[in-house]
Structure 1
């Protein structure tokens, strides 16, 4: 996806040394002693050349970031998996995971595939996940030829913040359970610190629900203001209450499934959201929220995809 602050990793340094080699070269300088019965032959060796190879600097191989979700719904089981680098369109082959991000607020895991009996699985915590453990969550499973299942339950995030499990029930009592593993990459995922009340922007979090027909994808973004991405939020920088907030975040894949977001202020706000290789734009945006100076909601129609979301500046 193509995004939708990462910690630095040390370079591995390998130095190759070539041993000194000695090449013997012989030449002769034979002279006769004046004594008739003795001849002395003297042989000299040329100095041995030496070479030292240039240092070879190599980076350690980083395992490609990947997501795997195992899910069971009733008597059906499936495994969905993919590489983060191969994620392009959220409604095609696409994966995302908070455990592959430098920072996260709400914890989410998503795997979508273009073919198969199960087409998509998403698990989203009901709120911020400041530490590993069990948290309220919602689960959605979409099928190739059956109605989607929406269930409520819990998400358990492991101590590594990259793996865990979930269990939930739909309104009819159907159990949805499974596990996930987000591996590879070069980030150490950490919960986002939010809640600043000093008027200085510290972090921005965005969540969006994309709907195309009966398909839904929930995507997120969370990043500290000093995390290396471009982070702007007018409402968190002394703008009076009631003023429409202008928000802009640009970054790489480490900020989340959403890797670019812009919501303009003014009487006619516009929206731009980048996820994978797809950019959703709209000039007709409805905005809301009880505290538009620091948080709010938005709805838009972007080329036939309905986008409903919320943002928070803290």
Structure 2
């Protein structure tokens, strides 16, 4: 039977919590009522859902799956990774548009190498995970991300584009070597009946992690950028040169752009440290070859055993 109570608790709870989190960049603080009231209400509804989910036989979101150690570790790793990686990735097109004056189209093209890098390693990592334990693959993916992200921690308002593009490509290589093995390993530890429920659990985890990561990085960046009123004028000067004079001349504008470059670099440092911390739970991932349970079947709870064939 469908878990209507679970739906009435989880759906608005998750929506309210993510609405509050996504409002942080706009408000610039968690103290704004729109932020903390939404997050608190959402968190309370989700806590009520957690309590409720252990009662029905078929809950909307099966939290009993967290008894599976491998799935739990995979969810923790993916949460930290997604929050840091996708939170920082949002900063790159913003940097190109606001600090370097690029159009939205050009900014998208400049970020494309990250996707190309992921395209290279994703199929390779997908094949390797069938032969090599995930605990021996994912660390190399994260190290690739750390290597690619480090140049971004040194970014300025005048950094050569080729350095940024190369860094994004390396980050993409690392991402492809991280996401696919983690997802595959998590599902391999589940039985056939658990796969659909496990996939839902992983997807919701990624949505929450992405929203939290984007919100955290946006708030940090906003706090480190020049004062909002001045910064809007600086960004507007790319299309309205008359604002340069109002701000005090090109030298003053260049000074604000340099300050903004430092703000982006500092925010990338935070993301870099978060990716580094992800290596801690990764150390507990399986380092021996895992047998897939996806073809296993299990009798429904409380069902009588079928009689042997005659």
TM-score by length of structure 1 reads 0.23
Larger strand share, 1 or 2: 1
More helix by share: 2
Q: Which has the higher contact order (CA 8 A, sep 6+)?
A: 2
Computing the radius of gyration from Cα coordinates, the structure with the larger value is 1
TM-score by length of 2: 0.23
